[in-house]
Structure 1
Amino acid sequence: MSSGNGGQPQTLTKPALGEQEAAELVDRVFGLKVSWIGPLPSYDDQNFHVRVSRDRGAAGGADEYVLKITNSEDSREPDLIEAQTQAMMFLNAEGFPSATPRLTKDGTIMSLESASGCGNKKYMVRLLTYLPGTPVAKIATNAQIFYEIGKLAASLDKALSEKFHHPSAKSLHRGQFIWNLANVPLLDQYIYALGQNKYREVVEQVIEQFKGKVIPKLSSFRACINHGDLNDHNILVDSSSASPQHPEYRVSGILDFSDMSYGYYVFEVAIAIMYMMIESPDPLRVGGHVLAGFESVVPLSGEERAALFLLVSGRFAQSLIIAAHTALLYPQNREYLMVTARTGWKHLMKMFEVGQEAVERTWFETARAYVNPAPAPQVGGC
């Protein structure tokens, strides 16, 4: 749930195809007849859930897809979209539940298309397998799913960083990309969207502390490829438990690779913590469960742990400022854009009210309990 545009969220580039036009696109580009089509929510691309009449060529008889129409600004970077799509295919082959592209009639994974009524704008079009499951945003979360998401975040970055060697991966060095956590200082240019209020003061404080305490430490963090947007709408789960009272969730889908970029392992865990806080009745404790899962795969160094509070705060600042800015541009999409803001401000204010030391203590003690669980009480005996 983020904005692309290479770090320039002010450009109005979101596609606006009608359902009929989208269905015709699927037929023309992929050679599939649409039997049903419906819109899916999106930030600055356009997505449709598509059912097609089964054809003999569909691998495994799959007949549900997501038609993803990338905004015209990002569509100018085919190497980047190629890298994202190749990463999804790589992860799927590694056993991660990520979508894979249906090839076009020409045998390619994507196609640059013109849309009628949009001047000379061109949009990159892909047809991705539809992943089943429920977004984390729509379930009653618990410690187990937070731990699983932390573990997933670390496993995914580790696999990409150690084994993904496609030539297009070089395009993931994205410089000024506004959603890369290293670029929190760039938020200064969009902060006007908040107006003047108490929230703005906290965000300004986050940005200044980030410049002084996080930026100088970046070179000591371990670099990797980040998914960059493991939020509560981009992770799908299903319940593997027979008990509706105590469901055990497993991740069934990982969506939206459009924020992938080179970053650092600690960025991914910070992003996951921030978004999981949004969906929890006990947000300050969430970080410990996510961290425990992450560190079961990639333990953090002392310097990485010390930056965690400001990295989580920095992601809150990115999400809240860019949402406010983008809502000024797309008032008709305001409700979707502001979904994080509803509780995001409350959580960020609470973090600063409680203070870094106390929040970190809660996170680290919660995470430690996974490694050193309390001994079971002795019953009877000598």
Structure 2
Amino acid sequence: MERVLLTEADVVKLVQRLYGLQTTKQTILASYDDVNIRVIVNGTSRNRHIKEVSEDGYVLKVLNTVDSKKVEFVGAMHAAIEKVSRAGIVTSHPVPNIHGQFHSTECLQSRSGKEGCMFLVRLFQFVPGDLLEGKTYTSQLCFEAGQLAGQLSNVLKDFEHPGLVNHSRHWNLREVVNLGDKIDSIVDLEDRKLVREVVEQFKQNVVGNANNLLKGTVHADLNEGNIIVKGSEVSTEGEKSMEFHVHGVLDFGDLVHEYIVYEIAIVTAYMMIESTILDSIDVAGHTLAGYIKELQLPAADCNVLKECICARLAQSFTYGSHEHKLDPTNTYCLRTSEKGWPVLRRLWKIPKHELYAKWAEILHGYSLTANFENC
């Protein structure tokens, strides 16, 4: 897999050539596999397909060489974005290029220096707001993150597209069963053992229970970097502070037709890692409450929620360790591990009936219930 190499001059030329816009400022955004660059442009355009130039700018997205070949899947992403947007959920839209197309494949230089690589290029409107990353996770903010996941599940549960048929990426939660020898890249032997236990339980209780679980299309990557929040100043006892609320969602690159329970499990896993003021188990309860507010899960799905959350944590940490072993200079891939391992170790040890009883207590505070009866 190759990633594109773009200089500032390359970005200016690419945006001008493909989209008829003049870049005045650019900022590289964090990305795991691809290249994302926010560009601010002046108010002029020679693209007749752009009715109004965005003052907030755009995000130039260049996929890696592997994902660049999945053109039909890109069509599925764009269709899902349109469906989500029509439902009133704030998200970023693809912008047509000068030919009226929402993507093009370009011959560009790769970071390894390889010439002639083909990369799929798109431009998205930038959605103003802040990322959830780095914010203080209050119980309300956790609830709203879960609520966003539930809203997405409601909108996408019946969404189908040819580009999703037989489509899967390595970040699909189901792929946790194929971690294999990547687990050996984990330095701590006890953590290796823990991940193997998680994988085995996932195989037995989730994959082995496939016929009883709801299926639908899931965003599958609701993390702190893909959730948009907006802040407002509030005054409490004479002291002013910022209060944030969930505003929208980004990046449908991991979209997949899978078990619906993956959506709440994935967002819960990331919320648990990033919390600084709430107990991680409570974070999960508040996040689940937000989801249940929008969509009630059947008992079979509730029963495997713990396994799915642990599987996402194990998957993230294993991939991170593996990528770091391949490239020790890549520290971005380890960003969740330091805070995340203690969360996984603790969560895995808690008996399911105790865990669900705690979550049920939190749900009760919202006048909500979940189908934990048989768990």
Instruction: Provide TM-score, normalisation by structure 2.
Output: 0.90
Q: Which position in structure 2 is the counterpart of 1:323?
A: 320
| Partner of residue 290 from structure 1, selected from 273, 287, 291 | 287
Q: Which position in structure 2 is the counterpart of 1:256?
A: 251
Deviation of 1:321 (Å): 0.6
The aligned runs of 1:28-47 (5 Å cut-off) are: 28-47=17-36
Q: C-alpha separation between the residues in 2 aligned to 1:90 and 1:328?
A: 40
What is the aligned-residue identity percentage? 31
- Deviation readout 1:228-279 (Å, 9 max, x if unpaired): 0000111010124533756543323311111000012211011111010011
1:77 matched to 2:73: no
* Structure 2: gaps (5+ residues): 370-375
Deviation of 1:176 (Å): 5.0
Cα 1:51–1:223 change in 2 (3 A) is same
Q: Is the 8 A contact 1:174 1:261 kept in 2?
A: no
Q: C-alpha separation between the residues in 1 aligned to 2:294 and 2:172?
A: 22
Q: C-alpha separation between the residues in 1 aligned to 2:6 and 2:368?
A: 54
* Structure 1: gaps (5+ residues): 1-11, 374-382
| Partner of residue 271 from structure 1, selected from 252, 266, 272 | 266
Cα 1:273–1:259 change in 2 (3 A) is same
Deviation of 1:86 (Å): 2.5
| Partner of residue 350 from structure 2, selected from 354, 366, 371 | 354
Of Structure 1 and Structure 2, the greater helix share is in: 1
1:333 matched to 2:330: yes
- 16-25 vs 324-333, which moves further: 324-333
The aligned runs of 1:186-225 (5 Å cut-off) are: 186-195=178-187, 197-225=189-217
Deviation of 1:330 (Å): 3.7
The aligned runs of 1:47-58 (5 Å cut-off) are: 47-55=36-44, 58=50
Q: Is the 8 A contact 2:39 2:59 kept in 1?
A: yes
Q: Is the 8 A contact 1:34 1:52 kept in 2?
A: yes
Q: C-alpha separation between the residues in 2 aligned to 1:326 and 1:195?
A: 13
Q: C-alpha separation between the residues in 1 aligned to 2:326 and 2:227?
A: 27
Aligned Cα root-mean-square deviation (Å): 2.0
- Deviation readout 1:172-216 (Å, 9 max, x if unpaired): 234553222222211124212214521111111101111122212
- Deviation readout 1:125-161 (Å, 9 max, x if unpaired): 0110111222212111111111111111111122123
Q: Is the 8 A contact 2:106 2:120 kept in 1?
A: yes
- 49-58 vs 278-287, which moves further: 49-58
| Partner of residue 123 from structure 1, selected from 101, 119, 123 | 119
Question: Which ranges of 4 or more aligned residues in structure 1 deviate by more than 4 Å?
Answer: 244-248
Secondary structure in structure 2 of the residue aligned to 1:371 = coil
1:158 matched to 2:150: no
- 241-250 vs 64-73, which moves further: 241-250
Q: Which position in structure 2 is the counterpart of 1:5?
A: none
Q: C-alpha separation between the residues in 1 aligned to 2:2 and 2:63?
A: 9
Q: C-alpha separation between the residues in 2 aligned to 1:16 and 1:25?
A: 12
- Deviation readout 1:41-66 (Å, 9 max, x if unpaired): 11010011101111266444414000
Of Structure 1 and Structure 2, the greater strand share is in: 2
Q: Which position in structure 1 is the counterpart of 2:130?
A: 134
